[in-house]
Amino acid sequence: MTIQPSREWRQRLGSSALPFVDSRIYTERDIFEDELRQIWQKSWLLVAHESELSEPLDFRTTTIAREPVAVVRGEDGVVRAFLNVCPHRGALLLREPAGNLRQSNPSGSPKRITCMFHAWQFDSKGQCLSIPRRNAGYQDRLQCTDVSLNELHCEVGYGGFVWVHLDANPVPLHEAMGGAFGALGPHLEAEPLEVFHHHKAIVRTNYKLWHETNSEFYHDYMHHFNRVTSMQQAGYHDRRYEAFPGGHATVSSMEVKYTAYEHDRVNLAEERDLSFPLLERNGWKLLDLFPGITLNLRGSALRVDTATPLSEDRVLIEFRGLGLKRDSAAERERRVRDHNTIWGPFGRNLPEDLLGVTNQTLGMRPGSEGLHVLQARREDSRIHDEVGLRHYYAEWSRRLGRSASDPYTEKARSLSAVGEELATPRAGAAE
């Protein structure tokens, strides 16, 4: 075997016809900062489900591109989103991850959002109701109507999910999604859904590496559960990716054979007749949404992953499991068990995915010359084709004005030039 210096090896791979991305897109701080500005501040993001805001004055808090955000169901039943920051001196307003404004707190009255710092109060519509000693301090120079909370664009749709956009003039949600929900949407909208599971994890990896685990199925070789219940079963290799504008993609369905999995502590041999509306028995459909959302419907349970990038090597992932709101106690127990067996914190799949992406992070170091990370499998858009990855990075490159395969020497190129290149890829470029 001839030993080649790493630079020569990378150059040889880069001059081939194999699509790749440069590993520096996962490791470098300046690229991460560009992503927050050009992608995360300019995308519709799934932040909650309406069942988590079921009562008037329920609220949830989150962060989008470092901006604190509060989502509140008003007394009028409308779900709204605001920057979770007091317009007075910039203090955080709602400090709990979730709650209800009917309960008073030491700083203020019930049914009010009260700043603990100077006791400014706002209602569930974001309107300022009270500024202590306003006349004495501000005279006629400041009115309560001048300092409402900063309301954000917020829509509820596609099965009752709550979506928020930071930009002042975003395209409508349905336009941003295009036809991406065409296959999965009917299952989500046939009946009201309800969240039965929610946990969070801060993972030591780049958010894109996590999203990639849901954008290609070639790594099913890592999952024993998926190998025996899916990969070795009829129909698995016939599943296809379908790409949509905006970097979104879907994967078609198959019947998962759960009875093929044998374990002395997990009984999957019993009948699994519980499903979702309009979904075939033990069906499996998946939808990836740019830049970091996945809806994974398998059999009786819907799993939803949402990513919140914290740094170039840290991501907060929220995992939700959903069933039908009308579930009986027995049906809900079954959905919870089915969900947690595969996707719970100690399920058969989730820990393996987490191990995979953290292992990638160990192999990619900040400040390196950059590895060439292959995305070159082509199987006519079937399940082990890496078209989902190439489609994602075409949108990534368009948004950032950088080529994912050469993010620095091409940084200054215009968005139109990058888009033209992606339409007719050069050798080795991600497409």
Summarised one tens digit per residue, pLDDT across range 45-90 is 999 999 999 999 999 999 999 999 999 999 999 999 999 999 999 9
Looking at 129, 151, 173, the residue that finishes a domain is 151
| Continuous segment of H or E residues that includes residue 187 | helix 185-189
Contact status, residue 235 vs residue 382, Cβ threshold 8 Å: no
Q: To 10 degrees, what angle do helices 29-38 and 387-400 make?
A: 80
- Which of the 8 DSSP states describes residue 42? G
CATH of the domain at 121: 2.102.10.10
CA torsion angle 168 314 11 2 (round to 10): -170
Q: Does residue 26 sit in the same domain as residue 79? A: no
Q: Which residues contact 17 (CB under 8 A, 6 or more apart)?
A: 427, 428
In a domain, 157, yes or no: no
Q: Please list, in sequence order, all residues whose beta carbon lies within 8 angstroms of the beta carbon of residue 429, skipping any fewer than 6 positions away.
A: 19, 20, 403, 405, 406, 421, 422
402 and 284 in a common domain: yes
- Sorting pLDDT into bands at 50, 70 and 90, what band is 267? low
387 within some domain: yes
Task: Judge if 38 and 79 occupy the same domain.
Answer: no
Shared domain for 238 and 314, answered yes or no, is: yes
Burial of 127 (0-12, 13-18, 19+ CB in 10 A): middle
In a domain, 185, yes or no: yes
The mean predicted confidence, pLDDT, of the chain is: 88
Q: Is residue 427 part of a domain?
A: yes
What CA–CA distance (Å, rounded) separates 227 from 230? 6
pTM, 2 dp: 0.90
- Same domain, yes or no, for 253 and 395? yes
The answer to whether residue 52 is domain-embedded is no
Same domain? For 75 and 209 the reply is no
What is the CA angle 366-371-376, rounded to 5? 135
Do residues 258 and 123 both lie within one domain? no
Say whether both 191 and 142 belong to one domain. Answer: no
Does 125 fall in a domain?
yes
What pLDDT digit, counting tens, does each position of 296-347 carry? 998 899 999 999 999 999 999 999 999 999 999 999 999 998 899 888 888 8
What value, to the nearest 5°, has the Cα angle with vertex 396 and ends 394 and 401?
95
Cis peptide leading into residue 291 (ω within 30°): yes
Residue at a domain's end among 151, 168, 195: 151
- Are residues 123 and 192 located together in one domain of the fold? no
Q: How many of the other CB atoms lie within 10 Å of CB of 118?
A: 14
The answer as to whether 280 is a domain residue is: yes
User: Would residue 241 count as lying in a domain?
Assistant: yes
3-class secondary structure, 382: strand
Contact 387, 381 (CB under 8 A): yes
**Per-residue pLDDT at 346:** 80
Question: 390 and 309 in one domain?
Answer: yes
Residue 147 sits in which domain range?
Answer: 57-151
Q: Give 237's contacts (C-beta < 8 A, 6+ positions apart).
A: 382, 383, 384
With beta carbons less than 8 A apart as the criterion, state whether 68 and 96 touch.
no
List the beta bridge partners of residue 60: 71, 98
R_g (Cα) of the chain, nearest Å: 24
Residue 245 φ/ψ region, left for φ over 0, alpha for ψ in the -120 to 50 degree band, beta for the rest: beta
- Do both 265 and 206 map to the same domain? yes
369 and 256 share one domain: yes
Domain count, the chain: 2
**pLDDT (mean) for 390-404:** 96
- Distance between CA atoms of residues 209 and 236, nearest Å: 24
Q: Can you give the CATH number for the domain in which 288 is found?
A: 3.90.380.10
pLDDT over 90 (residue 146): yes
